[in-house]
Amino acid sequence: KMPPFDYSPPPYNGPSADEILAKRREYLSPSVFHFYKKPLNVVDGKRQYLFDEEGRRYVDAFGGIATVCCGHCHPDVVEAIVNQTKRLQHSTVLYLNSAIADFAEALASKLPGDLKVVFFTNSGTEANELAMLIARLYTGCHDIISLRNGYHGNASATMGATGQSIWKHNVVQSGVHHALNPDPYRGVFGPDGEKYAKDVQDLIDFGTSGNVAAFVSEAIQGVGGIIELAPGYLPAVYSTIKKAGGLCIADEVQAGFGRTGSHFWGFETQGVVPDIVTMAKGIGNGIPLGAVVTTPEIAEVLTRRNYFNTFGGNPVCTAAGLAVLKVIEKENLKENAHIVGSYLKDRLAALKDRYELIGDVRGRGLMLGVELVTDRQTKTPAKAETLHVMDEMKELGVLIGKGGYFGNVFRITPPLCFTKEDADYLVDSMDYVMSK
């Protein structure tokens, strides 16, 4: 049974799922897709739950793609947004505003070393575009090294850096090189991070001819199928890149803000300190906001070039961001992600012992992946089964995401207020669907 929750959404009088779907087919880009056989119209959200048009509750274990870290419509975040909206919705870089400055200060206090100059953007894509621009300006070099299977956004440089062909749309990106993915489950060197790192040295020596501006990667690949980079990988690569004169960019769009449970930032799980950190998603709990944080020395390259954007660091978004940081602290969400995430991972691992279909259970905190295979020996991806289980779980009231190179990995990235009871309901539902 789904855990009890004391909230009933107000009655919904809007159009039905089918009506919305018809409109969507006519007016929205066909690239916008939905997974389910029977379309789902979500009309309300509270904490880790979503509600459909009939008031039916769902355990949201996807969290708006690892975005809604404090839970849907968290009262403190809503209040911050409403208060700021009533005072001032928009300003420009010409004037001062404390909502922006206070949040930049709070964000910097969360980062190690000299990482304290913040540039705000509206999304993860923009944050990574800007990070790569900064690296290119700072080093005077052009080449970017990123990982096969990584995801960094859908604009020009970021699409280039994204390492899955399906996201590239035949757009040729000069100066981007993809290194071997240090994937402990499918990669050629298993969990030996240092061996994969050699490929980056080869790219510098033979692929980029020393023209390397930056290395960019996630610490745990999200879209790529919740892949924790093999241990020892980032320390080895960071030292290689630094020796070559390039900068190291940590894409924290999914793994940041306490999601890993053990650390506030994903890169900390590998014990490295990047030169530039990019973030979005969790930073605003669903409000469009992104940021790039770097050192004063590196940031200098933009100061001299009059970089600006219209909406980045909009006061309503930064007011939300400040509230998010306070909620993560006040409600010990990082610690909760650790406790509930470990519990959930153990329960999923126990399920793996019972179902051959589950090839791998991985990730940390509340960033977990379950990879489905039709044969554990050959690791043949079970793509159709993945869709089927997701669909059936949705009918039982559990929403999870999917991803991975072969589209056969469940992505479990719920709000960080997820409970053990929610975890139980998720695993029991998966168990029930797989047992049928």
Contacts with ligand PMP by CB under 6 A lie at 65, 123-125, 128, 151-153, 218, 222-223, 251, 253-254, 280
Nearer to ligand PMP, 126 or 199 (CB): 126
**CB of residue 129 to ligand PMP, shortest distance in Å:** 9
User: 208 and 243 in contact (C-beta within 8 Å)?
Assistant: no
**CB of residue 122 to ligand PMP, shortest distance in Å:** 8
- Looking at the DSSP bridge assignments, the partners of residue 147 are 179
**CB of residue 125 to ligand PMP, shortest distance in Å:** 3
**CB of residue 294 to ligand PMP, shortest distance in Å:** 17
The count of C-alpha atoms lying within 13 angstroms of the C-alpha of 132, restricted to the half-sphere facing its C-beta, is 27
Token code pair at residue 134: 């900064």
The count of C-alpha atoms lying within 13 angstroms of the C-alpha of 51, restricted to the half-sphere facing its C-beta, is 19
**CB of residue 258 to ligand PMP, shortest distance in Å:** 16
Phi, psi at 290, each rounded to 5°: -145, 170
Nearer to ligand PMP, 153 or 363 (CB): 153
Token code pair at residue 212: 């390397």
Token code pair at residue 55: 């008031």
Distance CA 68, CA 366 (A): 12
Nearer to ligand PMP, 52 or 252 (CB): 252
- State the CB neighbour count (10 A cutoff) for residue 239: 13
Token code pair at residue 65: 């793609």
Distance CA 300, CA 208 (A): 26
Phi, psi at 185, each rounded to 5°: -85, -45
| 8 Cβ neighbours under 8 A, 6+ residues apart | 55
Phi-psi region of 176 (alpha: psi -120 to 50; beta: other; left: phi over 0): beta
Nearer to ligand PMP, 71 or 153 (CB): 153
**CB of residue 220 to ligand PMP, shortest distance in Å:** 9
Nearer to ligand PMP, 44 or 251 (CB): 251
Distance CA 312, CA 308 (A): 8
Nearer to ligand PMP, 214 or 253 (CB): 253
**CB of residue 264 to ligand PMP, shortest distance in Å:** 16
Nearer to ligand PMP, 247 or 280 (CB): 280
Nearer to ligand PMP, 168 or 379 (CB): 168
User: 238 and 193 in contact (C-beta within 8 Å)?
Assistant: no
**CB of residue 420 to ligand PMP, shortest distance in Å:** 27
**CB of residue 141 to ligand PMP, shortest distance in Å:** 22
Q: Give the rounded distance of the alpha carbon of 403 from its chain centre.
A: 12
Distance CA 104, CA 112 (A): 14
Nearer to ligand PMP, 167 or 343 (CB): 167
Distance CA 299, CA 303 (A): 7
DSSP state of 267: G
Report which residue's Cβ sits closest to ligand PMP: 124
- Strands (E) across 87-179 are located at 117-121, 143-147, 176-179
Nearer to ligand PMP, 195 or 281 (CB): 281
**CB of residue 127 to ligand PMP, shortest distance in Å:** 7
User: 247 and 139 in contact (C-beta within 8 Å)?
Assistant: yes
Nearer to ligand PMP, 163 or 261 (CB): 163
Token code pair at residue 236: 């080895």
**CB of residue 56 to ligand PMP, shortest distance in Å:** 27
